[in-house]
Amino acid sequence: MTADNSQTSGTKFSVVDLMLIGMSFVWGINFSVVKIALTDLSPLSFNAIRFSIASIFLLALLWVRERNLSIRREDISRIVLLALIGNTAYQLFFINGIYRTTAGNSSLLYATMPIFVATLSSILAVEKVEQKIWGSVTLSFIGIILIVGGKGKTLSITDQSWVGDLLILAGTICWATYTVLSKPLLKRYTPIKLTTLTVAIGTLPLFLISIPALNMQNWDSVSTQGWLSLTYSSCLAIAIGYVIWYTGVTRIGSARTALYENLITVIAVAVAWVALSESMTLPQIIGATFVFVSLYLARRAQRTKH
């Protein structure tokens, strides 16, 4: 079965856009879910188990949907490379980086991901990035700066945080590379198949690296809440979330899909405002507006292209 490579048109948001918005909600909530799980589990144990669960879940889902796990011989090296970049390396950079830097630094550094995606897409000639898409990417990044700065979490590089900042930046580049290099393969494989292959292959080295942490983990101390958090992060944030991400790359392109990464920050602030009664400042409101406008402008650019 080959992937549907067609891209949607029109200024109205499509089903794919709605799926990506739903994915942003899942990923936005996942930050809090991960924090809950990490109170009972070490970072490496958590990653090894959640990716193992996600792999099993995806393999079962792929078998039910397609009953076909075969891949072309010439694509094996590319798929393995994608798996190592987007799952093994990215996860190691993310887990270790998030513990060594501030939330403000992390938010701003991750907001550069659409910039890296657009740049790599252009350099590697994987996808032509229109001028309006570049404008949307820039506007979205400015919006994130306003959201983070409006909460007082400015970028602050210290002797303690710079290593974490570099790890977060390396992880961001890994995810951007994973996104861009997947585009040619998505012409031959469905999003669910490519997601399953890359997650399952990337889990093996991640699990091997985590064996010492798994042996030291006190499994009796893991609470029911910890196991539920692990399940949420495995099945929704990883398995379903990655499939939706690849669906976006297939249908609307890498650069426009990457803009939804910044929507996660908007959702996190909105959830804190509603659920935790945290204040929302005027710069944050303006920043959130910029992010939404960037998505709308990206849709108009897609409409103009067609």
**Residue 301 predicted with pLDDT over 60:** no
Burial of residue 224 (CB within 10 Å: 0-12, 13-18, 19+) is: exposed
Count of residues making up the chain: 306
Backbone phi and psi for residue 57, each to the nearest 5 degrees, phi listed first = -60, -45
Q: Let me know: does 192 contact 58? Beta carbons within 8 Å.
A: yes
Tell me the pLDDT tens digit for each residue of 230-256.
Answer: 999 999 999 999 999 999 999 888 888
pTM (2 d.p.): 0.79
- As a whole-number percent, the residues of the chain with pLDDT over 70 amount to 80
pLDDT tens digit string along 91-129? 888 877 776 776 666 666 777 778 888 888 888 877 776
> What token pair was written down for 244?
């939706």
- Give the pLDDT of residue 94: 83
Q: What local confidence, expressed as pLDDT, does residue 279 receive?
A: 63
pLDDT at 274: 67
Mean pLDDT value across the chain: 81
Dist CA 175 CA 151 (whole Å)? 26
Mean pLDDT score, 23-31? 84
Residue corresponding to tokens 């072309």 = 72
First-to-last alpha carbon distance for the chain, in angstroms, is: 26
pLDDT at 84: 96
**pLDDT, average across residues 2-30:** 71
Task: Give the integer Cα–Cα distance in Å for 72 and 69.
Answer: 10
Mean pLDDT of 47-73: 91
Contacts of 119 (CB under 8 A, 6+ apart): none
With 60 as the cut, is the pLDDT of residue 1 above it?
no
Which carries the bigger pLDDT value, residue 255 or residue 51?
51
- The separation between CA 214 and the C-alpha centre of its own chain, rounded to angstroms, equals 25
pLDDT tens digit sequence for 144-183:
777 666 665 555 555 556 777 788 889 889 998 999 999 8
Confirm if 104 and 53 have CB atoms less than 8 A apart: no
pLDDT of residue 4: 45
Q: What is the DSSP string of 111-133?
A: TTHHHHHHHHHHHTTSS---HHH
